[in-house]
């Protein structure tokens, strides 16, 4: 047994899950241990309990001790295909790790920060500015990947791949019968029922086909193509969800724009939290310490140091009085560099 309960688990997640179960099921006198045994997340053996995989995935401090593939790999490509060998050159390539609750919370911030705004003409003839992909489309696709993937492919992770014209989310394993790419909006099945049950109590799933329907509806409301689903032979079998962004029509600030602003060499040297900060600042022309701290899940003091480092690298300028935590102070993009990048792009 590689994980010991409760020492190796996040007690807050377990408390939240058990409290919600007790309230919904009117079992107010049940202990956390009784709840988890009832939900098939703990197994009793004599006077000891052993955590099952569902509990490890939901609440273990490091579930990769038992399931190495419990993580999400995020990649951004400036080309329309992944490429191979010398042609494989993602401009961003990083992992989001932890239990599923932590992965989803961190991914919601980090992936959202990689998205850019687009401006488009709606049916009423008005210009609308919105995110490249609606939140409920890509986030529900990620939740579904975490819930329905095959964890028997224990060394394989979920991948999120950005391309100029689309976003692909791939999860190990096939569709769960009777679900197929054709009937996915009308059929429901769960490969990991105890995991899904736990995430239902935590509010991440509803177990009613609602997730895929919300993905489709949010894409339609954004005047984007409906999601496409397919089963691919990728180092085994994987389910792929593709969201297309209608990039030929909509005007946007792309990752290429940010790369040109930073310069390719400096861009590749930036750490993930720095990329998130620069991307947000570029799209909004400025960023406050509190905003950067929220986006990167780092403390205010650490984030202040991160921003100051970006100033030293010549990527940001500090604007405002010099005393600590002045609400009017902020960090701004260097407009001269941005103008040069814009001019270069429009040649």
Contacts of 156 (CB under 8 A, 6+ apart): 69, 172, 235, 236, 238
pLDDT score recorded for residue 248 = 58
pLDDT score recorded for residue 344 = 59
**How far apart, in whole angstroms, are the C-alpha atoms of residue 281 and residue 333?**
6
Partnered with residue 42 across adjacent β-strands are 51
pLDDT score recorded for residue 229 = 95
Nearest 5°: the CA angle 110, 115, 117 is 140
**CB distance 73 to 93 below 8 Å:** yes
**CB distance 99 to 66 below 8 Å:** no
Q: Within a 10 A sphere around the Cβ of 37, how many other Cβ atoms?
A: 16
Partnered with residue 160 across adjacent β-strands are 74, 169
pLDDT digits (tens, 9 = 90+) for 40-50: 999 998 888 99
Contacts of 29 (CB under 8 A, 6+ apart): none
**CB distance 289 to 300 below 8 Å:** yes
- Alpha carbon separation from 236 to 173, 179, 182, 214, 233 (Å, rounded): 8, 19, 21, 29, 5
Domains of the chain with bracketed CATH? 11-63 (no CATH), 71-244 (3.30.565.60), 253-346 (1.10.10.10)
pLDDT score recorded for residue 295 = 81
Low-confidence ranges of the chain (pLDDT < 50): none
Backbone angles phi, psi at 285, to 5 degrees: 70, -15
pLDDT digits (tens, 9 = 90+) for 151-200: 998 889 999 999 988 999 999 999 999 999 999 988 888 899 999 999 99
pLDDT score recorded for residue 241 = 97
**How far apart, in whole angstroms, are the C-alpha atoms of residue 215 and residue 339?**
37
Tokens 């377990």 belong to residue: 14
């Amino acid at each position: 047994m590689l994980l010991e309960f409760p020492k190796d688990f996040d007690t807050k997640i377990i408390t939240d899950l058990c409290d919600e179960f007790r309230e919904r099921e009117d079992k107010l006198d049940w202990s956390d241990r009784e709840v988890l045994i009832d939900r098939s997340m703990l197994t009793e053996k004599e006077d000891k309990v052993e955590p099952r995989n569902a509990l490890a995935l939901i609440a273990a401090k490091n579930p990769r001790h038992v399931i190495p593939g419990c993580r999400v790999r995020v990649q951004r490509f400036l080309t329309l295909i992944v490429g191979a060998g010398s042609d494989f050159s993602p401009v961003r390539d990083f992992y989001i790790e932890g239990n599923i609750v932590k992965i989803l919370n961190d991914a919601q911030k980090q992936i959202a920060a990689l998205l850019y705004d687009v401006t488009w003409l709606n049916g009423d003839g008005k210009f609308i500015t919105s995110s490249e992909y609606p939140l409920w489309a890509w986030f529900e696709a990620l939740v579904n990947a975490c819930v329905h993937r095959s964890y028997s492919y224990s060394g394989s992770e979920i991948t999120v791949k950005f391309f100029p014209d689309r976003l692909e989310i791939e999860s190990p394993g096939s569709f769960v019968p009777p679900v197929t790419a054709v009937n996915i909006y009308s059929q429901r099945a769960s490969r990991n029922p105890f995991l899904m049950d736990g995430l239902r109590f935590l509010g991440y799933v509803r177990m009613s086909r609602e997730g895929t329907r919300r993905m489709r509806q949010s894409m339609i409301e954004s005047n984007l193509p409906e999601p496409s689903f397919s089963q691919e032979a990728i180092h085994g079998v994987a389910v792929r969800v593709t969201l297309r962004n209608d990039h030929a029509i909509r005007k946007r600030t792309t990752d290429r724009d940010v790369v040109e602003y930073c310069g390719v060499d400096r861009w590749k040297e930036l750490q993930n939290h720095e990329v998130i900060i620069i991307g947000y600042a570029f799209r909004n022309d400025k960023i406050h310490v509190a905003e950067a701290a929220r986006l990167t899940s780092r403390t205010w003091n650490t984030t202040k140091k991160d921003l100051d480092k970006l100033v030293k690298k010549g990527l940001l300028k500090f604007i405002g009085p010099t005393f600590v935590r002045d609400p009017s102070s902020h960090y701004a993009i260097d407009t001269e560099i941005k103008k040069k990048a814009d001019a270069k792009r429009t040649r």
